[in-house]
Structure formats: structure tokens, C-alpha cells
Homo-oligomer: A and B are copies of this chain.
Amino acid sequence: MARRRTGLSPRHKKILTFLETFLSEHGYPPSIREIGDHTQISSTSVVNYYLNQLAEMNYLERDSNVSRGINLLKTSNGSLLQNVNNAVTNLTEQLVSVPLVGNIVAGEPMPVPASDFSYYDPDSGIDVARSLLPAGDRLEDLYALRVHGDSMIDAMVNDGDIVVMKKTNQARNGEMVAIWLNDRDETTLKYFYLENGQVRLQPANPTMKPIIINDPSIVEVQGKVVLVIRRLDQ
């Protein structure tokens, strides 16, 4: 009887390590010839031989007659990979591009995007760490607006600031919301309180007085502010 294979040989390990490195750098697996080139195996049939063994040992799956048809399942140190991108998707969802859909100015109702963002230009999104955004909020409910003019200073928001909004038309007490006031033809950002049938709109600047609205029906909530970003380098 010949010698019996016990686990991974040095050549197995070399192939697996090369697979991991190549995949992480390129986003797709190497070809049989590329594996051979980088592991000093001169024959495609030997690479094929070893890949089949790694498949038997559940380090990878192969799809036959498919170029680069290798799905890496385990690394050379035995760590499981479910597949190429499932692990990464969890990581890379940490950085989100929030669509910048327009400007917010006092004298106009602010733009609220349609549901599908079909006009959306990805180059104009604002990159935001997921950890700065409210947990549990769906990303597709978020959009960004750039502040235009000095009219939001009572909200402690400057001309040029970015506000990240969540779509909503209902406010809870203590939330900062964008409100269109019908009687004044004005958009404003304020903390919202509904008290005894009246609406109190509290400026962010604590030295300023609130607006009291006796008739809540003239208050149109257009969105909730979840984040303000001010870049000072521009």
C-alpha cells in the first residue's frame, strides 16, 4: 500500500494561500494557469489534481467547465468563509453613501426624494459611517440636503452644512424635524413638542425663544434630522 494522505500537504497549503491572496486583491478567483504560475506547478493537470483534492476536503467547491469556477470555503488555517462577499457585506455596510438630493432653504418647501432614487447620482452622495446613523433605520429612508443661506442659524446649522434626513411626516416629542409653516411660507428646523394641543417648536440655540403654534394643522413635518455635518476645509 502506498503512503496515505494525511491532511494538507505543503502544496495544498501553498495553493490555498495563493487563492486567498488573489481573491482578496482581485475580487475574482485565479485561473488554473495562474495558480500553477504562482505555486511552481508547471502542469495544469497537477493543479487540477490538487484542486479536486481540496474540494474533497471541503476547502473549496468547484464548478466544472466554468472558468475560475472556484468558491473558497475555508482558508489554509481552517477559518470558514461562507462565500466571497457575505462576510464583507456585513463589514462594508459600515460606510454608507447617503444621496444628496438638493438644498434646503427657508423660503421653499424642502425637496423630499421619491422612493426609488431613480434620478440618483452616486457621485453626489455623502459618505457617512453607519455608526453615526440611527440604529435600525433603513438606509433607503435617508437622504441628505445642503443648507443654503443663514436662515437656519437658530437651528445651529450654518450655510453650507449637510443635514441627513429621515423620511417621516410625523414627529415625536424631542425630535428635530424639518417643518414647512404654511402661514409663513417657511421651512424651519426645530425640536418638536406637542403639548396640550399646541405645537412648541424649540430652536436648537438655547438662547432663542420657541415658536408656539396653536393650530397644529398648519405644521407640515417634512422629515426628521438625524445628523448634521459641517466641513470646515472648504
Q: Which A residues fall within an 8 A CB radius of B? A: 6-8, 10, 20-21, 23-29, 31, 57-59, 61, 63, 66-72, 74, 77-97, 99, 118-123, 125-134, 139-140, 150, 153, 156-158, 175-176, 204-207, 224-233
Contacts and interface: CB of A to CB of B under 8 A. Distances in A.
A83 B153 contact: no
A88 B89 contact: no
Given A61-B27, A95-B94, A230 B227 contact: yes
B81 A87 contact: no
A206 B150 contact: yes
Nearest to A120: B7
5 contacts: A24-B89, A77-B140, A81-B92, A126-B129, A150-B206
Given A89-B24, A158-B156, A229-B132, A7 B81 contact: no
B87 A91 contact: yes
A23 B77 contact: no
A78 B99 contact: yes
A91 B89 contact: no
Given A229-B229, A230-B228, A81 B78 contact: no
Contacts of A224: 232
A212 to B, nearest CB: 22
Nearest to A124: B7
Nearest to A135: B233
